[in-house]
C-alpha cells in the first residue's frame, strides 16, 4: 500500500536544501524531483520578472515550518 504524499504536512527540508529548503519541501510533499521544482521556480520567476517569485519564496521561508531533526 502506497502513502499519498499530499497527506503529509508541507515542511521545509533539512537534508538536500540549497537555500532554505522551500523547493525541496514542496518537491517532497508532491513526490516530485527537487531539481524539477527548483527549475520550475526559476522559470516562473524569470517569466514574472523575478520580483513576485522572490517575495513568494521569502514568505514560504517564513511561513513553512522546518521538518523535525
Task: Answer whether 62's CB lies under 8 Å from 27's CB.
Answer: no
Q: pTM, whole model, 2 decimals? A: 0.81
Answer yes or no: is 29 within a domain. Answer: yes
Task: Please check whether residue 36 lies inside any domain of the structure.
Answer: yes
Q: Does residue 52 fall inside a structural domain? A: yes
Q: Would 15 be classed as within a structural domain?
A: no
Domain that holds residue 59: 20-63
Question: What's the pLDDT at 3?
Answer: 66
Instruction: Report the domain count for the chain.
Output: 1
Buried b (16+ CB within 10 A) or exposed e, 30-68: eeeebeebbeebeeebeeeeeeebeeebeebeeebeebe
H-only helix segments in 11-66: 22-30, 34-47, 51-63
pLDDT tens by residue, 14-56: 888 888 999 999 999 999 999 999 999 999 888 888 688 889 9
Stretch 50-68: mean pLDDT, rounded?
89
Does 9 reside within a domain? Answer: no
Q: In this model, does residue 1 exceed pLDDT 80?
A: no
Amino acid at each position: 500500500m502506497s502513502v499519498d504524499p499530499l497527506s503529509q504536512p508541507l515542511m521545509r527540508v533539512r537534508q538536500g536544501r540549497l537555500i532554505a529548503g522551500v523547493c525541496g519541501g514542496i518537491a517532497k510533499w508532491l513526490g516530485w524531483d527537487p531539481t524539477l521544482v527548483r527549475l520550475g521556480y526559476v522559470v516562473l520567476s524569470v517569466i514574472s520578472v523575478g520580483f513576485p517569485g522572490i517575495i513568494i519564496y521569502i514568505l514560504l521561508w517564513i511561513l513553512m515550518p522546518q521538518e523535525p531533526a
